[in-house]
Structure 1
């Protein structure tokens, strides 16, 4: 579970950093459009699939998840993991261990959040270029290839597919140096879902016997 959580956070981290001045201006134009479009959503909710493959393309594992956002609040679920944040406090709940870790949120704006996954995901640390268009699952997608400038990263390429018509991220695929690959694919995106503020707060009463680790 801790490994899966680390990969999830790491994927968010990769997607909130991207370009240098030598990156493809056409790719930047597309990414700018995705960011601007997402910022018009009041309370987006997305379902996704997380998949791991080996170097031969064999699927090693696959999990479904979801993420809900409203302002600076968010709620992520994937397997036995749930992450809640009301913008001030975050709760990471491990169902298998029935344990929740509580942390304060970095209000400086530098903290990693799902919101940044869909908006400020191309600011620095990567070179990127547009590889062209293709058809995937009946959608016209634009593939943007990202190469990390920091060669110590465990991966050497990231391929992001943009749904051209919707101006939104369709998937992100990470190629590790050891040959393994993992990807996140958005299976459904609702721009303005009905989300109660209480859904972004961990309610201890709903988790009998939960162990609370408060790191604030």
Structure 2
């Protein structure tokens, strides 16, 4: 259970970077101009619903994993479904729902925790700590995908670089490729990007009546 929660936190951190890391001070003007366009567009959405594919590869360790997921976001609220586990944040608490174990872990959100990853923090989370540069342009099934390279400035960062792929026509994100110093390559590809969807008023509300037999694990 803890391993799944840890992996979901890491994946959501990467996913959140994919969607919201566009207000950084860019050292490359072209990169900044493009990211500013993406940022401006994202801020106009009332909500975002994304289906995505997540892959993790490390040839040295013989690791090759692939999974699909989806996430719904509105302001700082979200519901993430990945690897059979649902993670819901209602603005105050995070609920990790594991049907296989019939267990729900509940934790409070600490605004002072710098490691806490929520969509609302993503607009400013990467304002420092990265260098920007204009990278390659690729043709992906007729779509022109422009890549921006983010290089961590801290020598303690275990990531060598991050490549952010942006659709030149729609100014939406196509994918994110994270390359670790240990050779691990993590790729998150957006399969479907929808906005301003008709969501239920209780979409981001935890309803315990749906899980009568689940064990409730309050972490704090």
TM tier, smaller: 0.7 to 0.9
* C-alpha distance in 1 between matches for 2:217 and 2:26: 45
Cα shift readout 1:18-66 (whole Å, capped 9, x = no counterpart): 887672121111111111101111121111111112237x871111111
* C-alpha distance in 1 between matches for 2:40 and 2:125: 12
Counterpart in the other structure of 2:10: 7
2:167 matches 1:163: yes
2:117 matches 1:112: yes
- The alpha-carbon distance between structure 1 residues 17 and 43, as it changes in their structure 2 partners (threshold 3 A), is closer
Offset of 1:163 from its aligned partner? 1.1
- The alpha-carbon distance between structure 1 residues 122 and 53, as it changes in their structure 2 partners (threshold 3 A), is same
DSSP 3-state at the match of 1:153: coil
Please list every run of 5 or more consecutive structure 2 residues that lacks an aligned counterpart in the other structure.
none
DSSP 3-state at the match of 1:198: coil
Offset of 1:145 from its aligned partner? 0.8
Taking the TM superposition and a 5 Å limit, the aligned residue runs for 1:17-56 are 23-55=27-59
Is the CA contact (8 Å cut-off) linking 1:17 and 1:126 kept in structure 2?
no
Offset of 1:105 from its aligned partner? 2.8
Counterpart in the other structure of 2:177: 173
2:212 matches 1:188: no
Consecutive aligned runs of 4 or more in structure 1 exceeding 6 Å deviation: none
Please list every run of 5 or more consecutive structure 1 residues that lacks an aligned counterpart in the other structure.
none
Offset of 1:101 from its aligned partner? 1.7
* C-alpha distance in 1 between matches for 2:43 and 2:83: 28
* C-alpha distance in 1 between matches for 2:151 and 2:163: 9
DSSP 3-state at the match of 1:209: coil
Q: What is the TM-score with the length of structure 2 in the denominator?
A: 0.84
The answer to which of 87-96 and 74-83 deviates more is 87-96
Number of residues of Structure 1 aligned to a counterpart in Structure 2: 214
Is the CA contact (8 Å cut-off) linking 1:44 and 1:193 kept in structure 2?
yes
2:70 matches 1:66: yes
Q: What is the TM-score with the length of structure 1 in the denominator?
A: 0.86
- The alpha-carbon distance between structure 1 residues 120 and 162, as it changes in their structure 2 partners (threshold 3 A), is farther
RMSD (Å), alpha carbons: 2.7
Is the CA contact (8 Å cut-off) linking 2:23 and 2:39 kept in structure 1?
no
Taking the TM superposition and a 5 Å limit, the aligned residue runs for 1:94-109 are 94-106=98-110
The answer to which of 108-117 and 163-172 deviates more is 108-117
The answer to which of 101-110 and 138-147 deviates more is 101-110
Is the CA contact (8 Å cut-off) linking 1:43 and 1:194 kept in structure 2?
no
- The alpha-carbon distance between structure 1 residues 13 and 198, as it changes in their structure 2 partners (threshold 3 A), is closer
